[in-house]
Homo-oligomer: A and B are copies of this chain.
């Protein structure tokens, strides 16, 4: 039984995956803050998962962890996981001895890309290549081709959130102007909008009610996501772009905006129309365990280089 964990800023999602690929147990727990608490969260969640119904007689063979931070290529060392209060931590060293099984670590968006690809395959909708585009506080992507994660040479693969797409756009937290994330990141939108429990949802509602500022922010979100999709297809030519992350809770309201933006932008270009970008975008079902499932796949990879085949 392979275990995969998606360690998020507030909660940790864990799955146990049978050799068949089926998810046989799943649970969520709050995530602790700081290196020690994050390590304890991981070992506690794995223990709780092992005690779930149907897991009593099962042996856990590996643990994979998806984490919102940079993972040093070829290692299990996490750096700059600011939402977890972790600056620098060798996660396998921290939890491996207590778990007693091999532990692998991957960036959570890259893990979710592998998981989204596995979900496609399990549903009989295998594609040669896909990008998973995460729309949360920030914007980042993971690319999977033939079931293999594209990691790149220095860990910047999929960082499409920081590609400037509007020279006159808002300043991004990265310091550049008009980045995809400055337009489409939930954090950037919230910072330019009023206080609200769900700021991006509030922007959508206010835009529907006719608020001009909200309409601009909403249009910027669609244009930023559309730009990221164009970049992913015109660079890596992925077959499908799967959207996930907190903002996709908006469902069809978001997807309809993005598809309309892709169609409008392509209207003047036969070349762009020939790519049918609007038909190549889809949304991961809300609550899908893509990141945890992808982490389980990473965890079962003995040699980390196997998932690093391209870099």
A contacts, CB < 8 Å to B: 127-129, 141, 143, 145-146, 150-160, 162-168, 172, 174-177, 227, 230-239, 265-266, 268-272, 275, 309-311
Copies in the complex: 2
Neighbouring B residues of A175 by C-beta, 8 Å: 268-272
Which B residues touch A235, using CB under 8 A? 141, 143, 157-160, 163, 231-232, 235-236
With A129-B153, A310-B146 as contacts: A164 and B237 at CB distance below 8 Å: no
20 residue pairs of the A-B complex, CB under 8 angstroms, read A128-B153, A128-B311, A129-B153, A143-B235, A145-B150, A145-B310, A146-B311, A153-B239, A154-B275, A156-B233, A156-B234, A158-B237, A159-B235, A162-B269, A164-B265, A174-B269, A175-B272, A176-B268, A235-B236, A236-B236
List B contacts of A310 (CB < 8 A).
Answer: 128-129, 145-146, 310
CA distance A309 to B310 in the complex (A): 11
Additional pairs, 16, CB under 8 Å, beyond known A154-B239, A235-B236: A129-B152, A145-B310, A145-B311, A150-B237, A153-B237, A154-B237, A158-B234, A159-B234, A160-B234, A160-B235, A163-B230, A163-B231, A166-B166, A172-B269, A174-B269, A175-B268
| Contact A163-B234, Cβ < 8 Å, known A146-B311, A310-B146, A311-B146 | yes
A146: which B residues are within 8 A, CB to CB? 309-311
B151, B238, B239: the one within 8 Å of A237 (CB): B151
**Inter-subunit contact B237/A157 (CB<8 Å):** yes
A176 — nearest CB in chain B belongs to which residue? B269
Closest beta carbon of chain B to A193's beta carbon, Å: 22
